[in-house]
Structure 1
């Protein structure tokens, strides 16, 4: 992202006494902001608000490029999405509709009607389909974006309200989360649910994954974040891996970096947390919002976090150099007592509360980090895990395997 442009009049640098990172603050919405999305090839940030508008901002300067009236009669608007070609804008609302608008003219092109409240929507990567989920009937609907016609209506995907829905990388599955405490994968080829992720004790609010769909994270109103590693599939037997429980309130949103190394979460405790997934700990805890945080996202270069809130603010957190910043979130007892040590093989720092001596003949006296232990384990053993419907996308099978095979090594509740 190019950040050399001067800030617009409705944007400002924030210098708070408690701030550990540089913060940009963009103003304009007059109601709670429910969603945010980046279109990086345009340098655009898109936000949707309960003030019945969607807005496009210049990401670098904070200048408002366009405002769209969404025609939802002031009903809550859970999500606004723009296709990657940046030609169409889509919104969904508690008024039981999804709507499509022309980006250039702002005119409504088509409207789709549900029988119940629409809780979320998402556009496919090829821009040809829109999925939406509903409240009481828990129906997953797929719309043809060109015609505005319903192409599929899938009932009973969940036992109760769908809280989020999104297409996977190849647009051949839709991943949904629900108040029934599960995350499900609906296969658009076989037209059936192929996988259910369990482990949360409360409503699952969102799911996110890395570029190659090898690591999934879910967040919940039970204040926890769970990780599921698809490369080994051991979560099937042992359950998911839990990140340290740092949020004090329900977690509303999560976003994982493309490389699967970082995760951002935001919640009703007014915190944004940046997680280091390689070391299974947090990097930063960020405060500044004055009301519930509804959505978060991370730039592809991992330099900026964007968060939106009921306080009507858009915050951009500059986290490029956060490794040198004092962490501002309270450490739990385990992390307080832990020391940082060096891996004797790769030299990387890691927490002493994950120390484990390797039993191999080569490094019998060495202290190894998670990933060096994993490499040794993979070198000395043959894995025969069957991933079934949860395997890597066929088009990506030749890619290098993701390193975060964490569930084989770390305890279930870290």
Structure 2
């Protein structure tokens, strides 16, 4: 979806259900929006209206003012409290679409909130996506792995494509020209279904686990996929070398399954979020990470990046919506390098009290081979010279240096048949 970039006013007054949650010493400013009472599963930006759209298992979709966090609209989605994996809105912001584990896809009028039509699948619907021209909606299912295309005006299923994958479709989306649908699956592949020839034209392989999502830049030259195998793979479609040599793999920073990914329009940045509660901002030009962000208290389900690359939006099972201001992330490279050093630290045991502490805090006196924690060193100095010293939080034994708090905000087939209706 083509989004219009615009500058974000950081001094915009926040609504009562929104707050700044960063501390004065924080390197990344964070806004936190409250309102949902169940896990938030999806987020989408409509920047030309300054809207943020979220969908939740609390059976609601909500539209927020991006800058202030004020809730503009709330929609009851009629999915009978079933899980709602995705909520989407068309570019004109006139129609809202949702899909649920109740085996339905639904269309709502944005202005009135009334349900316009309902489409029914035979099995659980795992994802849906609106075409860029707003005329079609695609949806994917669980057990039968069916990809369906709906006419958004009438709610009629225009095309049903079975057996696109060998197992569950985890995500589906239209490409920029709306002539292909890209799907990911638990069968560890990503596929491209051509809507002109009605056949799968390309399959991306390389993951060892479930492929949860795929993202690409506006030129569709670079594709990134993320997986439950904790990896992010890059495929360069301009040279096609991945067909011979395989995809490129970004450094393995996530410690758990990666649920979502989103690439910037220029293809220079990528943001990923996972079940390890970590968000990572990647520099694709240099194949390295720029930032690791922590703060969510439960699984991260979806992430997106503003078109000017200044804000990351993330949603989670903790019911929170977080906005991370990353415009100045290049200025905090030094902090990231320090964090890399901390991650190399080892946990060792004190020779005297046997408590664990980080090797980063290991100090030995001249000629002393004993390995002592800060407390035992202090005790020894007090006995010898009545020396006193102020202890800092980071000197306490048992604190792992690769854990990062909110204070710093840094961390972690055959061609399918098809039917027309």
SS of the aligned residue for 2:327 comes to: coil
Q: Does 1:331 align with 2:337?
A: no
User: Normalising to structure 2: TM-score of the pair?
Assistant: 0.78
Distance of 1:47 and 1:328 partners within structure 2:
34
Q: Does 1:321 align with 2:351?
A: no
Task: Give the corresponding residue for 2:249.
Answer: 242
Deviation track 1:188-229 (CA, whole Å, cap 9, x = no partner) reads 000000000000000000000000000000000000000000
Match of 1:271 among 245, 259, 278: 278
Task: Give the corresponding residue for 1:340.
Answer: none
Deviation track 1:272-302 (CA, whole Å, cap 9, x = no partner) reads 0000000000000000000000000000000
Task: Give the corresponding residue for 1:262.
Answer: 269
CA contact (8 A) 1:286 1:328 kept: no
Aligned pair in 2 of structure 1 residues 333, 280: CA closer, same or farther (>3 Å)? farther
Aligned pair in 2 of structure 1 residues 256, 199: CA closer, same or farther (>3 Å)? same
Distance of 2:203 and 2:341 partners within structure 1:
31
Task: Give the corresponding residue for 1:154.
Answer: 161
Match of 1:116 among 123, 140, 147: 123
Match of 2:178 among 171, 177, 199: 171
Distance of 1:335 and 1:256 partners within structure 2:
29
CA contact (8 A) 1:285 1:328 kept: no
* Structure 2 residue runs without a partner (length 5+): 1-6, 346-421
Deviation track 1:348-386 (CA, whole Å, cap 9, x = no partner) reads xxxxxxxxxxxxxxxxxxxxxxxxxxxxxxxxxxxxxxx
* Structure 1 residue runs without a partner (length 5+): 337-414
Task: Give the corresponding residue for 2:40.
Answer: 33
Aligned pair in 2 of structure 1 residues 332, 235: CA closer, same or farther (>3 Å)? farther
SS of the aligned residue for 1:236 comes to: helix
User: Normalising to structure 1: TM-score of the pair?
Assistant: 0.79
Q: Does 1:307 align with 2:314?
A: yes
Match of 2:72 among 52, 65, 68: 65
Deviation track 1:279-331 (CA, whole Å, cap 9, x = no partner) reads 00000000000000000000000000000000000000000000011228953
Q: How many residues align?
A: 336
Aligned pair in 2 of structure 1 residues 45, 232: CA closer, same or farther (>3 Å)? same
Residues 18-97 of structure 1 mapped to structure 2, 5 A cutoff: 19-97=26-104
Distance of 2:278 and 2:324 partners within structure 1:
12
Q: Does 1:205 align with 2:212?
A: yes
Q: Which has the larger radius of gyration?
A: 2
SS of the aligned residue for 2:340 comes to: coil
Task: Give the corresponding residue for 1:14.
Answer: 21
CA contact (8 A) 1:78 1:93 kept: yes
Aligned pair in 2 of structure 1 residues 328, 85: CA closer, same or farther (>3 Å)? farther
Task: Give the corresponding residue for 1:2.
Answer: 8
